[in-house]
Amino acid sequence: MQKSLRTSRQQLLLSLLVQARKAKGMTQADVAAALDRPQSFVAKYENNERRIDVVEFIDIAGVLGVSSVDILSKIEAAGDRPKRPVRRKSQPIG
């Protein structure tokens, strides 16, 4: 699975978070203060310089007043998911 900062799903995630922040009328500094993090934390994930983990994502969504499930549903609906390899019964797992 590709873990790049440049995947279309990563770009969509960032876009949705930025849109939510702006719709709420918040600055990066506002979000950072609510998260008890430096403003650079928000700037780095919004500018695609770092990935956020799932706990950070849930916290960010909460601060922005958006549902993390709704955001994930939009990303899932966009497709572009990696294909799962077909495993035959005779293949060992692991």
State pLDDT tens for residues 6-65: 789 999 999 999 999 999 999 999 999 999 999 999 999 999 999 999 999 999 999 999
Q: Token pair for residue 70?
A: 């709704």
Is 26 within a domain?
A: yes
State pLDDT tens for residues 64-75: 999 999 999 999
Number of domains in the chain: 1
Q: Which residue has the higher pLDDT, 94 or 19?
A: 19
Q: Exposure of 57 by Cβ count < 10 A (0-12 exposed, 13-18 middle, 19+ buried)?
A: middle
pLDDT at residue 1 above 50?
no
Exposure string over 84-93, b if 16+ CB within 10 A, otherwise e: eeeeeeeeee
Q: Alpha helices, DSSP H only, in the chain? A: 8-23, 28-35, 39-46, 54-64, 68-77
Q: What is the pTM of this model?
A: 0.79
State pLDDT tens for residues 75-85: 999 876 555 55
Is 86 within a domain?
A: no
What confidence score (pLDDT) does residue 7 get?
86
Is 2 within a domain?
A: no
Domain holding 56, by residue range, is: 8-77
Query: What CATH number has the domain bearing residue 24?
Result: 1.10.260.40
| Cβ-based neighbours of 68, under 8 Å, separated by 6 or more | 57, 58, 61, 62
